[in-house]
Structure 1
Amino acid sequence: MLSRTLILGALLLAVVIFHAEAYVPRIIRGRPKGGFVGIPDTQSAQNGNDPTPPPDQWFEQKQDHFDGINLLTWKQRFFSNGSFYKKGGPMFVQIGGEGEANPIWMMEGAWVDYAKKYNAYCFLLEHRFYGKSHPTPDMSVNNLRYLSSEQALSDLATFITAVRKELGGPKVIVFGGSYPGSLAAWFRMKYPHIAHGAVASSAPLLAKINFFEYMEVVDSALRTFDASGTCNNAVAQATQGVQELMSTYKGRRQLKSLFQLCDDLDPNSKKDISNFYSTIAGNFEGVVQYNKDNRAFEGAVGTNITIDTLCGIMTDTSKGSPTERYAAVNSLMLKTYSQKCQDFKYDKMIDEMRQTQWNSSAAEGGRQWTYQTCTEFAFYQSSDSKKQPFGHGFGIQFWLDQCSDIFGPEVNVTLIQQRVERSNEDYGALGIRISRVVFPNGSIDPWHALGVLKDLGPDAKAIFINGTAHCANMYPPTAQDLPALVAARTEIETSIGQWLAD
């Protein structure tokens, strides 16, 4: 049992008030609403496990770990599950990321299977500034200076040290997927005396301003539908058709009807046009990134829509011209996410992302993650590559401008470049020196282009999983899992056992 001074168990009621005119894209900078791993539905099937999730618990943290004069503290949310624990077992810590943490992960997922095997005590620590973990009264630019991966790693170190002491000093294995996967690797590197090993799933370790490779992987993923590229060719033809319609007033009216746009297209508003092109390409980006990844256990929306679904539409000539089929994909996504029309107005998006209140729709994570990309990692999925079928309507400048438009002119290209270089210098990028870590990545996942794909050493192994998507190895196994995915989970489990034996 953990002490009452450590666990301040309490349930909070959180009411998220969405503005009537709120507009935050479904997927922005590769991040869907809810975070890279999504917001689970705690009422979903539990595969025979106890359906009652563990309650919110709270740990007191410093607001700033690097300023000795700042004595302010705040309460960070975490969850725990000791039902698998036996004396002498390890401590497993799942690292929260750029979305609300959810206790369903304390009962489901591959890491729970590992916890059962190795008798681990499980913890999930929510990332500062996300979910209910609020270090400041709001998300003003002045307050967001406390939001960084470095502060998050220090939060982890403080939390794990305290809990580990109460458990008698067990070995600690950290887990994370996507950005938290990067945090897992960085934590193992920076705090090897605390973390004994790390599972860094789908972890982008290379900070990069122009992440044009993202769209190249989307192109490659679509070719898994048809190696001859029929789907890709249809998308390219559709993009050309959209561009032609965009050039005339009549054509723009037709686009508004076809894509069920909320507003008229103004050819003089370059950022609106770029946002439109980015949005309709985003319909494919999100599906590719999470293709067949078994998120259904979370209650995730749209898990039945796959690459096969979209390419089936794009290659079905009975559904009209390529442009009409492209619009049909958009209509499917609008219906799936219960949207009446397709937003694309740049200023409307920026205005929403400027909201600083915790009850705004931007507080779901969009504002915070955008800030982290502007001040640490960039990761901007531009259309600048020629090796993709979505045209070149959302180039790198479109993404860079958003930083200064949202957070002020001081967050400019020069600052972004400096911060990206600093991140790579601080964490080692793809040349990180590390041991007792595995790096699972899926071939379908666009983020693998920034991840570790070859072994860094005898005890720092890359696990490249052909045919799988973002963080697929983290989800509960199913009978439909590819053999490569089954093998990857087994390799991870074996590696953990070897680390614990060391």
Structure 2
Amino acid sequence: MGFQALTAVIFACLCFACDGFFTGNIHRNIERQISNDVQGHKDEDKPVFQQHWISQKLDHFNGADSRAWKQKFLVTETYYRTGGPVFLMIGGEGPINNQWMSTDSGSTWLTYAKKLGALCFLLEHRFYGDSHPTVDLRTENLQFLSSQQALADLAHFRTVMAKQLGLTNSKWVAFGGSYPGALAAWSRLKYPNLIHAAVASSAPLHATVNFSEYLEVVWRALAAENPKCPLLVKKAFDTLNELIKDPKNYENITKDFNLCSRLQIQSEKDRAYILDSLADSIMSTVQYNNDNRAFESALGTNCTIKTVCGVMSEESLGEPYYRFAAFVALRTTTYLLQPCFKDPTYSANLQDLRNTSYSGPASGGERQWLYQTCTEFGYFQTSDSPNQPFSGFGLQYHVEQCLDIFNISTKTLYAGVDQTNENYGSYDIRATRIVFPNGSIDPWHALGITSSISDDLPAIFIKGTAHCANMYPARAEDIPQLNLAREHIFQILQKWLKEK
């Protein structure tokens, strides 16, 4: 089937009221003709893809609710061969990125698709990107934003596409990284009749309100580069914590960290907010250390743990406090290409997060994801552990955001997190044919599976790599462990695709 025919088929199945079906084969002669709404390439090594929409129920768990909405997805049959599998990449807490379907170097799942002859879909998550189930992001509408609803979207998408494109007997493999990695694992757990196997990269399968382990991994990652590095960061942050208590120091702190506006602290939440924001400069650097996100046009990819520890070890910059300030300024201007470090107060950030418009300042995913953490996952990266370099943004600060923004109580938050672990099994997931790649530098591995549960639930723990590293395009400078992990995952997929 060519893309013109594929377009017609998909259009016929977009609406629940439509009852037209296509009985042909997807692998007919391909005419690489791209419609006006498509972004892609015309080269056998660069997948041609199309953008389409499918109708989904607003509430999959209420048969009396007939409301529907349109969900965005991308598709490419560039590598598809007769009898090949179907790969379903799951979107997460932001817009789907076209580069995962079309890139010069080739993201890892597409290299697998080329070898295995797979048809590839990329499905955007409800409430993120262009996939808007409701008219806005009011809290009463966000009740339909949950992992369970998202999994039901995946199941319906798989069922409709399989029926319309003659892929009912094909083996579907779910892919995802981070939260979508958890969704990939849970799709296999909840819908084993629909999903044959899953690759759950950097997947946080255990929900927890207080994710204090995150910063413990940050400490260890810095120490692996230089044992003195986290100690220097801690000393710098301790000094900052003392200075920030006195308003007389605000002007100097503003200059030291190249803040966009003069530091203003009118509440304990303001203090916690700026401390959390400054600490995030190092937290994010560690999480994405050496990950090849440049192909997504991500900024800051050259800022690494080595950069952090190099600056923190530079005695000519003065005391550790000034070195930390120098690193924040360097990362902001040189790596993120921003003129200054944005530092709105907690109240200003609160105003952004309370904006319910899809065009609001936090609609790119911040408001939606915070709602999910407040209702399902927690995942709050607090400074409560003594075995980490930061302080000043404890659990209470994070929990109160749920109340301030969504009026979600602490009791409701804990109940939602408990329900998530009860529903999916946490670390004790009971399923088969799921592989769990994780990196030792990635703080999220603390909530994932890093030791194999069984032959059918293998873990691949990649020493020296960070968040979702195995998913990105391969590079010459990749460490051998990463290359071996990618090959190991491929061998596992080959084996599982031979199983019934």
Q: Structure 1, residues 103-137: CA drift from partner, whole Å, max 9, x if none?
A: 22123310101101110000000000000000000
Larger Rg: 2
Corresponding residue SS for 2:374: helix
Asked if the contact 2:80/2:119 (under 8 Å) is kept, the reply is: yes
Return the alpha-carbon distance in structure 1 between the equivalents of residues 187 and 345 of structure 2. Answer: 39
Change (3 A) 1:342 1:66: same
Matching of residues 307-456 of structure 1 within 5 Å: 307-335=305-333, 336-337=335-336, 338-390=338-390, 392-408=391-407, 411-456=408-453
State the shift of 1:483 in Å. 1.0
Return the alpha-carbon distance in structure 1 between the equivalents of residues 380 and 207 of structure 2. Answer: 10
The residue type equivalent to 1:62 in the other structure is K
The residue type equivalent to 1:136 in the other structure is T
Corresponding residue SS for 1:431: coil
Aligned residues: 467
Q: Structure 1, residues 53-77: CA drift from partner, whole Å, max 9, x if none?
A: 6332101111110111111111100
State the shift of 1:451 in Å. 0.2
Corresponding residue SS for 2:382: coil
Asked if the contact 2:50/2:76 (under 8 Å) is kept, the reply is: no
Return the alpha-carbon distance in structure 2 between the equivalents of residues 319 and 431 of structure 1. Answer: 48
Return the alpha-carbon distance in structure 2 between the equivalents of residues 243 and 407 of structure 1. Answer: 29
Corresponding residue SS for 1:441: strand
Corresponding residue SS for 1:203: coil
Q: Structure 1, residues 316-340: CA drift from partner, whole Å, max 9, x if none?
A: 0111221111111111232133143
Q: What residue in structure 2 maps to residue 296 of structure 1?
A: 294
Asked if the contact 2:14/2:55 (under 8 Å) is kept, the reply is: no
State the shift of 1:163 in Å. 1.0
State the shift of 1:250 in Å. 2.9
Q: What residue in structure 1 maps to residue 258 of structure 2?
A: 260
Q: What residue in structure 2 maps to residue 58 of structure 1?
A: 53
After superposing the two structures, state which structure 1 stretch, 462-471 or 480-489, moved more: 480-489
State the shift of 1:51 in Å. 6.2
TM-score (norm 2): 0.90
Matching of residues 204-283 of structure 1 within 5 Å: 204-226=204-226, 229-266=227-264, 268-283=266-281
Return the alpha-carbon distance in structure 2 between the equivalents of residues 84 and 50 of structure 1. Answer: 9
Q: What residue in structure 2 maps to residue 475 of structure 1?
A: 472
Asked if the contact 1:176/1:199 (under 8 Å) is kept, the reply is: yes
Return the alpha-carbon distance in structure 2 between the equivalents of residues 425 and 313 of structure 1. Answer: 44
Query: Deviation above 6 Å: which 4+ runs of structure 1?
Result: 7-13, 46-52
Matching of residues 191-210 of structure 1 within 5 Å: 191-210=191-210
State the shift of 1:361 in Å. 2.0
Return the alpha-carbon distance in structure 1 between the equivalents of residues 364 and 37 of structure 2. Answer: 16
After superposing the two structures, state which structure 1 stretch, 120-129 or 53-62, moved more: 53-62
Corresponding residue SS for 1:426: helix
Alpha-carbon RMSD: 2.0
State the shift of 1:50 in Å. 6.3
Q: What residue in structure 2 maps to residue 80 of structure 1?
A: 75
Asked if the contact 2:44/2:78 (under 8 Å) is kept, the reply is: no
Return the alpha-carbon distance in structure 2 between the equivalents of residues 91 and 167 of structure 1. Answer: 11
Change (3 A) 1:289 1:183: same
Whether 1:460 and 2:422 are equivalent positions in the alignment is: no
Asked if the contact 2:48/2:78 (under 8 Å) is kept, the reply is: no
State the shift of 1:278 in Å. 0.5
Asked if the contact 1:441/1:471 (under 8 Å) is kept, the reply is: yes
Instruction: Tell me which of the two structures has the higher relative contact order, counting C-alpha pairs closer than 8 angstroms and 6 or more residues apart.
Output: 1
Q: What residue in structure 2 maps to residue 6 of structure 1?
A: 13
Change (3 A) 1:11 1:57: farther
State the shift of 1:256 in Å. 1.9
Q: What residue in structure 2 maps to residue 32 of structure 1?
A: none
Gaps of 5+ in 1: 14-41
Asked if the contact 1:383/1:394 (under 8 Å) is kept, the reply is: yes
Q: Structure 1, residues 167-205: CA drift from partner, whole Å, max 9, x if none?
A: 332111100000000000000000000000000000000
The residue type equivalent to 2:13 in the other structure is L
Asked if the contact 1:172/1:195 (under 8 Å) is kept, the reply is: yes
Q: What is the aligned-residue identity percentage?
A: 46
Asked if the contact 2:51/2:72 (under 8 Å) is kept, the reply is: yes
Return the alpha-carbon distance in structure 1 between the equivalents of residues 84 and 74 of structure 2. Answer: 18
Q: Structure 1, residues 412-470: CA drift from partner, whole Å, max 9, x if none?
A: 10000000000000000000101111000000000000000111112100000000000
The residue type equivalent to 1:393 in the other structure is G
Asked if the contact 1:10/1:57 (under 8 Å) is kept, the reply is: no
Change (3 A) 1:485 1:52: closer
Asked if the contact 1:10/1:56 (under 8 Å) is kept, the reply is: no
Gaps of 5+ in 2: 16-33
After superposing the two structures, state which structure 1 stretch, 52-61 or 233-242, moved more: 52-61
